[in-house]
Amino acid sequence: MKKLWFLWLLFSSVATAAPWQTASRLQTFYNGDRQLVSRIYYPTSANGPQQMVGDRLVFAGINAQPDALPATGHFPLIVLSHGSGGNNSSQAWLAQALV
């Protein structure tokens, strides 16, 4: 039982030890005449003003720093697709958890 308690304590402290804030920026990609407006969520170590992103009737919004400098280091790339009827901020809650 002590081993289980120790492992739980170890994993729960590691899971909450991220020193970064969430940053967000709009990015437009072009392919000829077609454009795709995307929102990029990424970690930042900057402390600046935040703005609400993705606050909708169904989805909870998040506070993110607009256009902040990215945190230094290597981070994985995760691509989220909102599916039909969504927009680039409808899953901000999930993006913040992944950041």
Q: What is the pLDDT along the chain (99 residues), one digit of tens a residue?
A: 666 655 555 555 444 446 889 999 999 999 999 999 999 999 999 999 999 998 888 778 899 999 999 999 999 999 888 877 778 888 888 889 888
- Is residue 10 situated within a structural domain? no
Q: What is the Cα 43 distance to its own chain's centre?
A: 7
Given the structure tokens 């002590």, which residue do they identify? 2
- Is residue 75 situated within a structural domain? yes
- Is residue 4 situated within a structural domain? no
What's the number of domains the chain is made of? 1
How confident is the model at residue 35, as a pLDDT?
94
How confident is the model at residue 2, as a pLDDT?
67
Cα separation, 82 vs 69, in Å, equals 25
How confident is the model at residue 16, as a pLDDT?
45
CA within 13 Å, CB half, 96: 17
